[in-house]
């Protein structure tokens, strides 16, 4: 569901790329980019519903289950910008087809995984593949159309991505109940094959935009830094800090500092140009994104887990319980974008996280469960309304906070930060997942309070840091 909620921010990447080519088969090209992106969107959410079943198969503890999610989010978060740069250097068509191929193969590996270690390895390849296919599918879409046609094409892509985010978990839950959690990975294979075939037919071969060396050092340091810090947080959230976790966390921070130094040296050829942070508003928006999507990411892991393990929902029922989130975001986001265009992005970005915070507080009703409509639905509905208000204005604010030269980098970095928020949140929820029975629902109460506080902090970032005059007259993307 994180991916579905963040689909508009990702769409800004396509908006930011100049239209330099056309396609003779526009419908096939749109279909190819939709199918490729849907692989990443669906897989980022559907696995949450399958965690209890995966745990049963392998006798996995909560820490292992956290890594089923984070083994995917870690390389996706760390390598997303590098994946876009790979398309610029080696060709977007080639990068897209390579990413989709690897995603299909790693999905098949997940489906036949004989052990948890094998599954986690395959999940990490999935994440790296998604980091390659996602930005290049958007870049191809942005380059193939111009003017109003581009807007319509991106609108179709965004709507399809939101629909995939809504339908994917429900379909996955049904497959889990029908047969096995392995089917939620196996279904990616035919989708990948069709996406590759359509891309081969419709995407131009001469799509290399620029030649240059990739920031492999930056990508490696970002992956090591996030990986060590995530491992330390995951272990400590369930077992407490130890000498090993403290050392790993410190090493992760050192790697991230080294990453910043490497990016500074590479200047404009860096995967994360430091010039972005010359805008205090961009810094504030980055923190807002990190906090808001961390809160949402933690809930999207915990809620289906609690519904299945404590309230005895089936996988299909748990997935359907989350369906209003994607539906409301899809329907209300255009309205929120229009409101932000009239009154400015800043007031909307201040108020929307507060609405999400109210939804988190409503989630405390789940502890004294009195049926879905009374205990679960109100929370999901209010959180969805708040997220719908934030998504499009956040895109507008991000693009307005930097100069035209850096809009593509700013949008891509914001997408990576959103996924990093989910990564960190998933690492920290182990203390909830180790509980069982009524204690699990009580732990969810505390997690909901923390999520609400995180959303309030996100609102404060908007209040104190977003101050550019242009943002008060922002338009939606």
pLDDT value at position 462? Answer: 92
For residues 359 and 380, the answer to whether their CB atoms sit within 8 Å is yes
Which pLDDT does position 312 carry in this prediction? 92
Task: Say whether pLDDT at 15 is over 60.
Answer: no
Alpha carbons within 13 angstroms on the beta-carbon side of residue 314 total 14
Q: Is the dihedral of CA 296, 298, 300, 304 positive or negative?
A: negative
8 — pLDDT class (breaks 50, 70, 90):
low
Distances (CA, A) of 316 to 110, 158, 300, 441, 452: 20, 25, 15, 20, 27
Determine phi and psi for 434, rounding to 5 degrees.
-80, -15
* Residue ranges of domains in the chain, CATH in brackets: 2-215+271-473 (1.20.1250.20), 216-270 (no CATH)
Given a contact cutoff of 8 angstroms between Cβ atoms, the answer to whether 433 and 62 are in contact is: yes
Q: What is the per-residue pLDDT for 18?
A: 45
Do the beta carbons of residue 231 and residue 167 sit within 8 Å? no
Q: Which residue has the tokens 């007259």?
A: 473
State how far the Cα of 160 lies from the Cα of 170, in Å rounded to an integer.
Answer: 16
- What would the pLDDT profile of 231-268 be if each residue is shown by its tens digit? 999 888 877 888 899 999 999 999 999 999 999 998 87
Cα 424 to the center of its chain, rounded Å = 12
pLDDT at 453: 98
Task: Compute the C-alpha angle 85/193/14, nearest 5°.
Answer: 35
Over residues 329-344, the mean pLDDT reads: 85
- 318 burial via Cβ count (<10 Å: 0-12, 13-18, 19+): buried
Does residue 208 carry a pLDDT above 80? no
Distance CA 261, CA 179 (A): 50
CA angle 195, 417, 225 (to 5 degrees): 100
> What pLDDT shows up at residue 23?
62
Around 144, how many Cα atoms within 13 Å sit in the side-chain half-sphere?
28
In this predicted model, what pLDDT tens digit does every residue of 112-135 receive, in sequence order? 999 999 999 999 999 999 999 988
pLDDT of 110 strictly over 90: yes
Taking alpha carbons only, the member of 459, 468, 295 closest to residue 397 is 468
d(CA 155, CA 170) in angstroms, rounded, equals: 23
- Which pLDDT score is estimated for 293? 95
pLDDT tens for residues 177-197? 988 999 999 999 999 999 999
CB atoms within 10 A of CB 179: 11
Our CA angle for 384, 385, 388, nearest 5°, is 80
Question: Dihedral of CA 108/50/252/421: which sign?
Answer: positive
- Hey, CA dihedral for 94, 97, 100, 106, is it positive or negative? negative
With a cut of 50, say whether residue 424 has pLDDT above it.
yes
pLDDT value at residue 360: 97
**Per-residue pLDDT for 2 more than 80?**
no
What pLDDT sits at residue 126?
Answer: 97
* Residue in this structure with the two tokens 């087809």, named with its chain if needed: 97
- Alpha-carbon distance of 195 to 96, in angstroms, equals 10
> 56-85 pLDDT, tens per residue?
999 998 889 999 999 999 999 999 888 888
C-beta of residue 388 within 8 angstroms of C-beta of residue 359: no
CB of 359 closer than 8 Å to CB of 381? yes
Angle between helix axes 92-111 and 62-90 (nearest 10 degrees) is 160
Residues 6+ positions from 403 with CB-CB distance below 8 Å: none
Q: With contact defined as beta carbons under 8 Å apart, do 385 and 328 qualify?
A: yes
Distances (CA, A) of 433 to 25, 117, 365: 48, 20, 18
């Amino acid at each position: 569901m994180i991916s579905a909620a963040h689909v508009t921010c990702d769409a800004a990447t396509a908006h930011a790329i100049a239209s330099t080519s056309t396609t003779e088969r526009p419908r096939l090209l749109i279909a190819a980019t939709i199918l490729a992106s849907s692989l990443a969107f669906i897989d980022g959410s559907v696995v949450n519903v399958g965690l209890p079943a995966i745990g049963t198969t392998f006798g996995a503890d909560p820490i292992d289950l956290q890594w089923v999610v984070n083994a995917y989010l870690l390389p996706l978060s760390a390598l997303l910008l590098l994946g876009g740069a790979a398309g610029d250097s080696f060709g977007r068509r080639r990068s897209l087809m390579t990413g989709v191929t690897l995603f299909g193969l790693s999905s098949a590996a997940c489906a036949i995984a004989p052990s948890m270690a094998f599954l986690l390895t395959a999940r990490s390849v999935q994440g790296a593949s998604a980091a390659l296919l996602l930005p290049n599918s958007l870049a191809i879409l942005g380059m193939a159309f111009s003017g109003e046609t581009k807007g319509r094409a991106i609108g179709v892509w965004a709507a399809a991505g939101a629909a995939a985010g809504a339908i994917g978990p429900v379909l996955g839950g049904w497959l889990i109940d029908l047969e096995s959690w392995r089917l939620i990975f196996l279904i990616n294979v035919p989708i990948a094959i069709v996406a590759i075939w359509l891309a081969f037919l419709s995407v131009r071969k001469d799509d290399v935009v620029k030649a240059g060396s990739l920031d492999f050092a930056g990508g490696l340091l970002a992956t090591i830094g996030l990986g060590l810090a995530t491992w330390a947080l995951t272990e400590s959230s369930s077992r407490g800090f130890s000498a090993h976790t403290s050392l790993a966390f410190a090493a992760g921070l050192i790697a991230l500092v080294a990453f910043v130094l490497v990016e500074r040296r590479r200047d404009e050829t860096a995967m994360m140009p430091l010039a972005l942070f010359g805008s205090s508003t961009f810094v504030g928006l980055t923190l807002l994104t990190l906090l808001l999507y961390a809160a949402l990411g933690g809930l999207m892991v915990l809620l289906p887990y609690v519904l299945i393990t404590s309230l005895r929902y089936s996988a299909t029922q748990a997935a359907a319980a989350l369906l209003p989130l994607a539906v409301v975001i899809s329907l209300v986001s255009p309205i929120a974008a229009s409101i932000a265009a009239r009154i400015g992005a800043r007031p909307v970005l201040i108020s929307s996280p507060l609405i999400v915070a109210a939804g988190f507080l409503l989630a405390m009703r789940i502890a004294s469960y009195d049926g879905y409509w009374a205990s679960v639905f109100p929370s999901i509905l209010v959180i969805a309304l708040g997220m719908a208000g934030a998504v499009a204005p956040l895109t507008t604010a991000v693009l307005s906070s930097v100069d035209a030269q850096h809009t593509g980098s700013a949008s891509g970095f914001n997408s990576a930060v959103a996924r990093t928020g989910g990564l960190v949140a998933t690492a920290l929820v182990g203390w909830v997942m180790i509980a069982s029975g009524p204690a699990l629902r009580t732990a969810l109460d505390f997690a909901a309070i923390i999520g609400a506080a995180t959303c309030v902090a996100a609102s404060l970032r908007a209040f104190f840091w977003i101050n550019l005059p242009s943002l008060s007259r922002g338009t939606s993307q």
